[in-house]
Amino acid sequence: MTKMMMQLKIVSATPVVAGCRMIKDAHELALMRLANHATLTVYEAVHKALQPGMTQNTVSDLIAQAYHRVGFPGDASVQVGEYTALPHGSIQPQTIREGTIIMVDDGCTVEGYQSDITRTFVLGKPTAKMSTVFGIVHEAQAAALAAAKPGVPLEAIDAAARKVIVDAGYGPGFKYFSHRLGHGIGMDGHEWPYLVKNNMFGWERALTLQRNMTFSDEPGIYIRGEFGVRLEDDMHITENGAELFTPQSESLEKPF
């Protein structure tokens, strides 16, 4: 038995498991569409209730209560002001003020399938710089959506969004857009494969998009000490292109 154990070769099963899960059927897509609709409904309702003086924890609690009302488990990370420039946020106490930027991120679960949406907005009037950065991120998200078609390498989708951001002066590379464009999503909020360069991990060659894959499409610009903007919607690869489950955010003043 010991000799047999010594001859065993342990390999990662991720390519097998991820390969089974990365293509969704019609029922799975319907559940994800519902999850995305629920999340956007919750965000919009809470947005209407926001007032200056609220803390990020107050807003998170409102979102949890709203998910309870719609009947699906969910929660959200809420960041305010300079903390929006940290892609993973902070637990430091934060208070909403008139004109400060706010970022809400996360989703809910519907029968085991996930949503993941980020909205960035301002109560009141944003600065010109905030609006300019929002416009760049909005354009980058749209560029990724336009580039996403069956047969296209996954890294090319990241590159399409990153080019918009770098060409606008927020580069090079990952300097201001400091994370991958997107992650697979389905039974887990983050699952294989990823929209980023060198996404191999067990596959012999770089993956290409296939019909009925699903991803987040979430470009961002993060200016440390000032603010950050991220827009995230979940994306479904169709027969000839791609579609978002939810409408793109219009502006910092009109996120829904």
Q: What is the pLDDT of residues 88-135, one digit of tens each?
A: 888 898 999 999 999 999 999 999 999 999 999 999 999 999 999 999
**Residues 51-61, mean pLDDT to the nearest whole number:** 95
Contacts of 51 (CB under 8 A, 6+ apart): 96, 123
Tell me how crowded residue 172 is: count the other CB atoms within 10 A of its CB: 8
CA distance 88 to 171: 20
Q: Are 102 and 120 in contact (CB under 8 A)?
A: yes
Helix (H) or strand (E) holding 193: strand 191-195
Span 50-62, mean pLDDT?
95
Higher pLDDT, 203 or 54: 54
**Can you give the pLDDT at residue 89?**
84
Q: According to the model, what pLDDT value does residue 163 have?
A: 98
| Residue scoring higher pLDDT (206 or 229) | 229
According to DSSP, the residues that pair with 105 across neighbouring strands are 77, 118
**Nearest-angstrom CA–CA distance, 31 and 28:** 5
* Mean per-residue pLDDT, 17-35: 91
CA atoms within 13 A on the CB side of 121: 21
Q: For residues 193 and 183, what is the distance between their CA atoms, to the nearest angstrom? A: 6
